[in-house]
């Protein structure tokens, strides 16, 4: 083998190795992963309260499942901006022991069509159960698996059974 051939071979091998590493890293940082990393602080519900979030009643679906108890930030709703680290609502599932388990977050805006890092929001027309005007929303089930999908509204694995 010539030196030039060896150098070409090593260069191609290095490029393939680098490309594989970059792809593996990108796969490990999906939108759900990014949302989880940006909002893990809310695992403790007292953090949500200290940041100005307040609870609204647990939301159950008519076809089964639920969304849990939403802790909503009026300030972030009024700001009407989509920021991965500042969701308008943080969602918890009440446990039989009264503890709240972080299950998801929800991004809400009146500006649309809306998207977060390429993921389109769902449109919610008025009138709606929240008494809001038309808006766009995106649930991200970053802490509790949802068989309907990471961005579905209701989760059949969530219950309001222990909500007060």
Per-residue pLDDT tens over the stretch 142-156: 999 999 999 999 999
Give ∠ CA 59-132-33 in degrees, rounded to 5.
55
Query: Could you list the residue range(s) of the whole structural domain that residue 74 is in?
Result: 32-140
Residue 157 falls inside a structural domain: no
Residue 78 falls inside a structural domain: yes
Residue 8 is classified by DSSP as: H
CA distances from 25 to 32, 36, 85, 86 (A): 14, 16, 21, 24
Give 47's contacts (C-beta < 8 A, 6+ positions apart): 41
pLDDT tens readout for residues 109-158: 999 899 999 999 999 999 987 888 999 999 999 999 999 999 999 999 99
**Counted domains in the chain:** 1
For residues 78, 81, 83 and 85, what is the CA-based torsion angle, rounded to 10 degrees? -10
pLDDT at residue 92, as a whole number:
98
pLDDT at residue 2, as a whole number:
62
């Amino acid at each position: 083998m010539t030196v030039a051939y060896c150098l070409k071979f090593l260069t191609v091998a290095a490029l393939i190795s680098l490309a594989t590493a970059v792809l593996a890293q990108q796969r490990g940082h999906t939108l759900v992963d990014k949302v989880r990393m940006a909002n893990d602080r809310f695992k403790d519900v007292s953090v949500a309260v200290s940041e100005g979030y307040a609870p609204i009643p647990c939301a159950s679906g008519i076809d089964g499942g639920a969304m849990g108890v939403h802790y909503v930030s009026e300030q972030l709703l009024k700001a009407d901006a989509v920021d991965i680290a500042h969701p308008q609502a943080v969602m918890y599932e009440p446990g039989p022991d009264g503890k709240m388990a972080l299950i998801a977050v929800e991004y809400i805006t009146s500006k649309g069509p809306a998207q977060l890092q390429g993921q389109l929001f769902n449109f919610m027309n008025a009138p709606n159960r929240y008494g809001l005007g038309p808006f766009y929303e995106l649930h991200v089930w970053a802490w509790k698996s949802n068989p309907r999908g990471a961005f579905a509204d209701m989760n059949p694995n969530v219950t309001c059974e222990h909500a007060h």
